[in-house]
């Protein structure tokens, strides 16, 4: 009976990972086919960039909203609804024929992203064996990282060589597989929220939670400051042909896969906050090193793997830290982490673009990334210190009474 239950739980984690694959693919494939979308809709590339922003805005709004609304239903049914929503609107993206229609559909496509990952992370932790919650969350997140190795390059290829809409049709197919996986493999689960949304939102009164949300926004912004300008770094700084960019993206994706499970191991060995400190310190180091190595054709490719690995080693410990800080409202807190992650994506790209626009070169993005990751280290340090002070006060209180 125990083996049957474990097998069932593994299938449920695979279903979550497939959903993560689809989400990762739709979030990043648009970057590879942006010129094709712009040409097809007769708009400029900067204007086509609004589709990326619309999706990110959907994630930020949808994470707390859909998690809160879905709180009164069983978690497996909420996950099913979220993946159905994801599948429908990503498929509809392929049929958009104007700037306005695609902008609206991309916003709607982004709404279930944060809620699916937020609820899925908590569910994954509950399905795991004792002491293996971090590994279970990493399994779900593996779908997003593998998407950068397989899904994004595949979608970019078909979108560029044939028609941009094929990329979103492929996302819709992955969404359908995830939908079937959740329906057939996900066990019956309790309500997403046992308290109700009115009580769940009280979790935002916790300073530690806000500190972690700020940490995610700023700290992960360091990675996206580098990742947003990887293409010109490869071609303009290192001197590679444009065709090499695709291979560099695959290397980054492989690094993300490795880093995702590395982060889980660090979390189990050192605890979430210590793992975050290690990951962000390494991020500062590798980004600064890349400013000196980016001009070398071999070194820049090696660094794409390393930075990808270090950048995604922070995802699992951050998710675990958020879940622990949101006790009683874990799914809402976990979903908010996805909102913060997307704000980090947008802010990292924006801030790194400022010195580039001023003429300081593409390696200046790495300095911005290192500064953001360094700020993340300081925020993480303050969170750790505040936690220790609270613990000391509690011990003193217990001893005095």
Whether residue 123 sits in one domain with residue 55: yes
pLDDT of res. 1: 39
C-alpha–C-alpha distance, residues 239 and 299, integer Å = 12
C-alpha–C-alpha distance, residues 216 and 17, integer Å = 22
pLDDT of res. 373: 96
pLDDT of res. 214: 93
Distance of CA 126 to the CA centre of its chain: 20
Whether residue 374 sits in one domain with residue 254: yes
Whether residue 226 sits in one domain with residue 172: no
pLDDT of res. 289: 96
Whether residue 198 sits in one domain with residue 180: no
Among 10, 1, 18, smallest CA distance to 187 is for 10
> Are residues 289 and 370 in contact, defined by beta-carbon separation less than 8 angstroms?
no
User: What domain count does the chain have?
Assistant: 2
Domain membership of residue 226 as a residue range: 193-401
Whether residue 248 sits in one domain with residue 188: no
Whether residue 102 sits in one domain with residue 16: yes
DSSP code string of 151-201: HHHHHHHHHHHT-THHHHHHHHHHHHHHHHHHHHHSPP--BS-SS-HHHHG
pLDDT in tens, 144-154: 888 888 998 88
The residue from 159, 192, 225 where one domain ends is 192
Residue 339 belongs to domain with CATH number? 1.20.1250.20
Whether residue 213 sits in one domain with residue 93: no
Q: Give the total residue count for the chain.
A: 401
Backbone angles phi, psi at 95, to 5 degrees: -105, 5
Q: Please, what are the averages of pLDDT over each run of 10 residues along the chain (401 residues)?
A: 56 92 89 81 81 86 85 86 96 94 95 89 82 82 86 86 92 96 85 59 79 92 86 86 82 91 89 93 97 94 95 90 82 82 83 86 92 95 80 59 56
The reported pTM is: 0.80
pLDDT of res. 98: 92
The residue from 147, 171, 192 where one domain ends is 192
Whether residue 294 sits in one domain with residue 269: yes
Whether residue 150 sits in one domain with residue 53: yes
pLDDT of res. 2: 46
Whether residue 373 sits in one domain with residue 237: yes
The residue from 133, 161, 192 where one domain ends is 192
Whether residue 42 sits in one domain with residue 114: yes
Whether residue 388 sits in one domain with residue 253: yes
- With H, G, I as helix, E, B as strand and everything else as coil, classify residue 326: coil
């Amino acid at each position: 009976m125990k083996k049957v239950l474990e097998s069932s739980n593994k299938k449920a984690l695979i279903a979550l990972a497939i959903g993560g694959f689809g989400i990762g693919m739709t979030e990043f494939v648009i970057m590879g086919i942006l010129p094709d979308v712009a040409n097809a809709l007769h708009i400029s590339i900067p204007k086509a960039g609004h589709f990326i922003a619309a999706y990110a805005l959907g994630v930020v709004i949808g994470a707390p909203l859909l998690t809160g609304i879905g709180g009164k239903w069983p978690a497996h049914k909420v996950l099913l609804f979220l993946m159905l929503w994801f599948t429908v609107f990503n498929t509809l993206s392929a049929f958009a024929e104007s700037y306005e229609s695609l902008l609206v559909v991309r916003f709607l496509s982004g709404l279930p992203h944060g809620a699916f990952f937020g609820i899925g992370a908590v569910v994954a932790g509950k399905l795991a064996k004792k002491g293996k919650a971090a590994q279970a969350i990493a399994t779900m997140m593996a779908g997003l990282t593998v998407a950068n190795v397989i899904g994004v390059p595949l979608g970019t290829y078909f979108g560029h060589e044939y028609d941009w809409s094929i990329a979103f049709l492929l996302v819709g197919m992955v969404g359908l597989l995830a939908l079937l996986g959740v329906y057939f493999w996900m066990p019956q689960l309790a309500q997403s929220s046992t308290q109700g949304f009115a009580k769940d939102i009280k979790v935002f009164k916790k300073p530690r939670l806000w500190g972690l949300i700020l940490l995610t926004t700023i700290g992960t912004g360091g990675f996206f400051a580098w990742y947003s300008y990887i293409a010109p770094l490869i071609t303009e700084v290192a001197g590679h042909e444009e065709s090499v960019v695709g291979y560099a993206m695959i290397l980054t994706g492989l690094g993300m896969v490795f880093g995702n499970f590395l982060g889980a191991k660090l979390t189990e060995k050192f605890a979430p906050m210590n793992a975050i400190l290690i990951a962000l310190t390494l991020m500062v180091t590798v980004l600064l090193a890349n400013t000196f190595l980016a001009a070398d054709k071999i070194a820049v490719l090696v660094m794409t793997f390393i930075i990808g690995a270090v950048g995604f080693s922070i995802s699992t410990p951050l998710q675990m830290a958020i879940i622990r800080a949101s006790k009683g409202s874990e799914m809402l807190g976990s979903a908010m982490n996805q909102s913060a992650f997307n704000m980090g994506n947008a802010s990292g790209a924006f801030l790194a673009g400022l010195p580039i626009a001023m003429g300081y070169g593409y390696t200046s993005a790495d300095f911005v990334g290192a500064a953001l990751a360094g700020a993340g280290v300081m925020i993480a340090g303050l969170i750790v210190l505040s936690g220790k002070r609270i613990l000391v006060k509690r011990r003193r209180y217990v001893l005095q009474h």
